[in-house]
A and B are shown apart, each in its own frame.
Chain A
């Protein structure tokens, strides 16, 4: 391995990292500036121009506590649905022989390839108009409660568990539910964490669907409330960009922190197996 190559690699990787991280750095700096400074000097924090007022400002326009709570309920509901259905179907597909198993697995794969935009209009008609679930947590959660990536990850994990283990428990008289709860679930604990982390960023960051089904400000997740603020920002606030960036920091924070804490669980092979099916 030549020296030149190593240096070239270092340069490429460093330029890459700066390009990826700079907007986040700028998000934080911008959220703390009293008046927006878009000059090159503004990229460096000036102690005289720092303030937390933008956070108070965005909080006065977007109820941060309420919208964060809405984001949390939406995300929590999606994760719960994903885990429950994912474990049950993943276990059934990997360890049990039953009629309809092939079709079920084919459906799991099919769900993954049909794009959401085709379902968006009929789902809106059904959920918001026919079922009256607009401005309702259930209406937000329903379309995301099934997650084929999770089913596939759980199936992969359960496939690695030797069937004899379950057969032995069955001989000892354990029912399927006991089996699932006492033996299967503890075995896939690492998969549970992976799925929670992978699932978290979806609903937490989701914009389009909650934007369609929530019109009341008190029901909107933070992403929707912030987007509405951005699109109407023009004249109102004293330092609109500062407020937008403060809101952006609050929205980005939980996902980024979770990711950094658990980054080694975002294993590329899991993601790969998830999307490849």
Chain B
């Protein structure tokens, strides 16, 4: 048992929890996805036959599901590059700023610590048909307005999430910037590099491990999307233009009582995220971290 078996004793409550609310549900999710699982009265003996890939076939031939995965694709194409660029630029500027650093750090982090539900309230107000954004834009305002437009609903959600999460990524980059050696900047200066050149040749390679992490975390956040489409676009937008897979999991699994197909969507989603993460790591990560 090793030198201190008491270590296992101290960890036991945690391990019991991991099995109860993590390992078992994980296996249960896979079980449901391969069986004809439906809700029954507690304790009732019901037959839930093995159906192989039927649930997967059903969700993959459902246009609403395909659409929702496409929506996540649109979301990621807008959110991920915007997140990486904006957070790196703001963190770099903040890193060298002398005055007002604390205030700015707080300002950038406040959306992250605030409940989505609360800030969704303001965004609804800002982006509604007669809202402030359209008042400012005047004739340039899209019609139908942002959140009820099939074209703009998903980009607006992507913008919302970028804004909401950015502070967290700025903080990650700030930590990463601390570890970029000042000698490299000095050497680059000696070689006559300007600020822009230094940013591309020293800063960007220097924070590469953080970039890999930001890519991964923003992708996972995108795949988890639920609250924003549910509240901003009233449960999925015009013709499902902003439905997310998790929103469909909720609708199919809990509202319509098909937890088996909902689990199948969940498994496809997670496999998708793993594939994207793997590609991101290959492209951006090199051999580091």
Contacts and interface: CB of A to CB of B under 8 A. Distances in A.
B280 interface: no
A26 B14 contact: no
Given A27-B121, A122-B263, A271-B171, A223 B115 contact: yes
Interface string B1-43: 1111111101101110110111011101100100000010010
A227 interface: yes
Interface in A1-20: 1-2, 5, 9-10, 12-13, 16-17, 19-20
Contacts of A260: 106
Interface in B143-182: 163, 166-168, 171-172, 174-176
A236 interface: no
Given A117-B223, A251-B117, A271 B13 contact: no
B279 interface: no
A207 B223 CA distance: 16
Interface in A232-266: 241, 244-245, 247-249, 251-252, 255-256, 259-260, 263-264, 266
A231 B11 contact: no
A20 B167 contact: yes
Contacts of B253: 120-121, 124
Give the most central of B10, B42, B213: most A CB within 10 Å: B10
Interface string A7-47: 00110110011011101101100100000101110110000
A122 B25 contact: yes
Nearest to B6: A176
Interface in B28-79: 28-29, 32, 39, 42
A129 B234 CA distance: 27
Interface string B229-244: 0110011000000000
Given A98-B6, A226-B121, A259-B109, A115 B220 contact: yes
A121 B29 contact: yes
Interface string A85-116: 10011011100111111001001000100111
A205 B115 contact: yes
Interface in B233-282: 234-235, 245-246, 249-250, 253-254, 259, 262-263, 266-267, 269-270, 273
B283 interface: no
A64 interface: no
A247 B121 contact: yes
Contacts of B220: 115
Interface in A157-187: 176, 180
Contact of A230 (B10, B11, B108, B120): B120
B269 A117 contact: yes
Contacts of B102: 263-264
A121 B257 CA distance: 11
A88 B7 CA distance: 8
B10 A92 contact: yes
Contacts of B116: 205, 207
A273 to B, nearest CB: 9
A16 B90 contact: yes
Could you say which interface size class chain B belongs to? 35 or more
A73 interface: no
B85 interface: no
Interface of A: 1-2, 5, 9-10, 12-13, 16-17, 19-21, 23-24, 26-27, 30, 36, 38-40, 42-43, 81, 84-85, 88-89, 91-93, 96-101, 104, 107, 111, 114-126, 129-130, 132, 142-143, 145-146, 151, 176, 180, 201, 204-205, 207-208, 212, 223-224, 226-227, 230-231, 241, 244-245, 247-249, 251-252, 255-256, 259-260, 263-264, 266, 268-269, 271-272, 275-276
29 contacts: A16-B104, A16-B108, A20-B107, A81-B17, A85-B13, A88-B13, A93-B11, A96-B2, A96-B6, A96-B10, A98-B5, A100-B11, A115-B223, A117-B223, A118-B263, A121-B262, A126-B25, A146-B17, A201-B113, A244-B121, A244-B125, A247-B118, A247-B121, A248-B122, A252-B118, A256-B110, A266-B109, A271-B171, A271-B175
Given A115-B224, A224-B117, A241-B121, 17 more contacts: A2-B195, A5-B195, A12-B89, A16-B104, A16-B108, A17-B103, A19-B163, A24-B111, A81-B17, A88-B13, A107-B18, A126-B25, A151-B14, A176-B10, A223-B115, A247-B118, A255-B113
Interface of B: 1-8, 10-11, 13-15, 17-18, 20-22, 24-26, 28-29, 32, 39, 42, 89-90, 93-94, 96-97, 100, 102-111, 113-126, 128, 130-132, 135-136, 163, 166-168, 171-172, 174-176, 195, 213, 217, 220, 223-224, 226-227, 230-231, 234-235, 245-246, 249-250, 253-254, 259, 262-263, 266-267, 269-270, 273, 289
